Copies of this chain bind each other. A is one copy, B any other.
Amino acid sequence: MRPKLVLFGDSITEESFGEGGWGAALAHRFSRKADVVLRGYSGYNTRWALKVVGRAMEGVCPDGVAPPAAATVFFGANDATLPDRCSGFQHVPLPEYQTNLRAICAYLRERWSSTVIILITPPPIDEDGRLRDTSGDNSSGLPERTNEYAGAYAKACVAVANELGLPVIDIWSKMLQFPDWEKSFLRDGLHFTASGNSVLFEEVVKKLGDEGLSLEALPVDLPDLLDMDPNDPLKSFCD
């Protein structure tokens, strides 16, 4: 039975199977080795995620079935909207963000004790990109998110991961290491371009590898064509 990798998060997870998306890239990478299960909920913050985590995970691994090998928990971009700007209804105060993250991880740990939980921090924000984004109805001239504020949530997420002893991907800090991160990695100041997706994909692959979930370590599902004997291919299917 193939191991499962569950992606639990907000819109950056929900859209991760779009063109160049990090979720699709994971599914492609592990195409014969693991099932990637998408549980992305656009616009959700940790307060709402905590409300739905039980329902979101229903059916991922029913009772009696092996728990997922790993789950990414990727929230914070919506928690970190500024409370007094447009989108303020998505805001969650920083201490509650941490409490919610702890509770989501506790729920997953309780349900599936062996699952590797990987926290992902909110991404950086390009305020200029947010203002140029015409998909919302922000006419205030002020961005609803700032990079500094997102950075505080990223640090808070890392702190929770350290406290719980969980692996964490600090995608906020990672992306900031690159020149022109604002435009190369973020297509609207928040969501990822193909290059941005690729940065996160590589980080997830690295973390999975650290936890023993590498391409090399996972068995291939059913005989590989390259391992078959062209003179007697059916031999591969005897056991």
Residue from B27, B56, B64 within 8 A of A62 (CB atoms): B64
Residue from B28, B32, B43, B231 within 8 A of A225 (CB atoms): B43
What is the CA–CA distance of A44 and B40 in the complex, to the nearest angstrom? 33
Chain A residue total in the interface (Cβ 8 A): 47
A127 at the interface (CB under 8 A from B): no
Instruction: Please indicate the chain B residues that have their CB under 8 angstroms from the CB of A47 in the complex.
Output: 234
Interface bits A38-75 vs B (CB < 8 Å: 1, else 0): 10111110011001100110110010110000000000
How many copies of this chain? 2
| Minimum CB distance partner of A51 in chain B | B237
Q: Which of A10-18, A118-126, A144-152, A181-189 interfaces with chain B? A: A10-18
What is the CA–CA distance of A222 and B13 in the complex, to the nearest angstrom? 15
Instruction: Please indicate the chain B residues that have their CB under 8 angstroms from the CB of A2 in the complex.
Output: 59
What is the CA–CA distance of A20 and B194 in the complex, to the nearest angstrom? 12
Residue from B15, B21, B59 within 8 A of A1 (CB atoms): B59
A203 at the interface (CB under 8 A from B): no
B20:A19 contact, CB within 8 angstroms: yes
Distance of A18 from chain B, by nearest CB (Å): 5
Instruction: Please indicate the chain B residues that have their CB under 8 angstroms from the CB of A42 in the complex.
Output: 32, 224-225
Interface-centre pick from A14, A37, A38, A55 (highest chain B CB count, 10 A): A38
A31:B27 contact, CB within 8 angstroms: no
Question: A59-B1, A65-B59, A234-B51 given as contacts; is B24 within 8 A of A31 (CB)?
Answer: no
14 new A-B pairs (CB below 8 Å) besides A21-B24, A24-B24, A90-B233? A2-B59, A14-B32, A17-B25, A17-B28, A23-B27, A24-B28, A27-B27, A31-B38, A43-B225, A44-B225, A64-B64, A89-B228, A89-B231, A89-B233
In the assembled complex, 17 residue pairs joining A and B whose CB atoms fall closer than 8 Å, in A order, are A1-B59, A14-B31, A15-B31, A17-B28, A17-B31, A19-B20, A24-B28, A27-B27, A31-B40, A32-B41, A32-B42, A35-B37, A35-B38, A42-B225, A56-B222, A64-B64, A89-B228
